[in-house]
Amino acid sequence: MSQQELDLFHPQIIGVIGAMEAEIAYLRSIMHNVKTHRFGRDIVIYTGLLFDKDIVLCQSGIGKVNAAIATTLLIEHFTPDCVINTGCAGGVGAGLKVGDVVIGTHIMYHDVDVTPFGYQYGQVPKLPVFFNSNSTLMYVAEQAATVFKTANVVRGLIVSGDSFIHSKEDIARIKKQLPNPQAVEMEAAAIAQTCFEMGKPFVIIRAMSDSAEDDAKVSYDTFLVTASGNSARMVHKMIRAFSEE
């Protein structure tokens, strides 16, 4: 990514989505002039300022449907220039440990199967197999990764489904069907699909809270706040970078 390419992208309104309170708490705490907007039963969107940018921060709720609804509401009501999805995930890539971060180069579902009709596993009919993060946003995310001294930051495939993956058998099944996934979680593909449909550039950032194996719940409960904080600090630095252009 050249400086010339980066200079072409100057978002003023930045949408940020996290599924849970823990995933958005840090960013909300440093925003200014915060206003709260509630939609439906559980979707909350906060608007405010961070540096010189207008931030639209959404707590979507867990799962693909909640994520898609929240992303649509965010885009339709607040017209962000781009969308950043922050949060935690289970690490399934080789060498990933709790606290490490995956920047999703491409995103897909691990629980969609319409292969009898000629589609690839994970592909929604009439849509791409993968939803690709915006190259500029990925570049800025990688530059923001210098905020970490010990966590590894890698690029790769993030896969989504409406299940909390917590066993070696689950991981083996997913890896058998899909090409080298790095992280598994429950919202990213729905957010990516919605942004694709609505023409909004996006990037998915996930910090590892567990290894998606038999002790996943214990690890998740223990490291949720740490992992969510790592992801949110990257987003914070991204917003600062856009403000310094």
Q: What percent of the chain lies above the pLDDT cut of 70?
A: 89
16 phi, psi to nearest 5 deg: -130, 130
The structure's pTM equals 0.91
- Find the catalytic residue in 185, 210, 221, 244: 210
pLDDT digits (tens, 9 = 90+) for 197-206: 999 999 999 9
Assess whether 23 carries a catalytic annotation.
yes
Task: Please indicate whether residue 197 is annotated as part of the active site.
Answer: no
pLDDT of residue 207: 87
Of 23, 100, 170, 185, which is the active-site residue?
Answer: 23
CATH number of the domain enclosing 21: 3.40.50.1580
165 marked among binding-site residues = yes
pLDDT digits 0-9 by tens, 138-178:
999 998 987 677 778 899 999 999 887 777 888 888 889 99
* Domain membership of residue 128 as a residue range: 3-243
Number of domain units in the chain? 1
Higher-confidence position of 6 and 152: 152
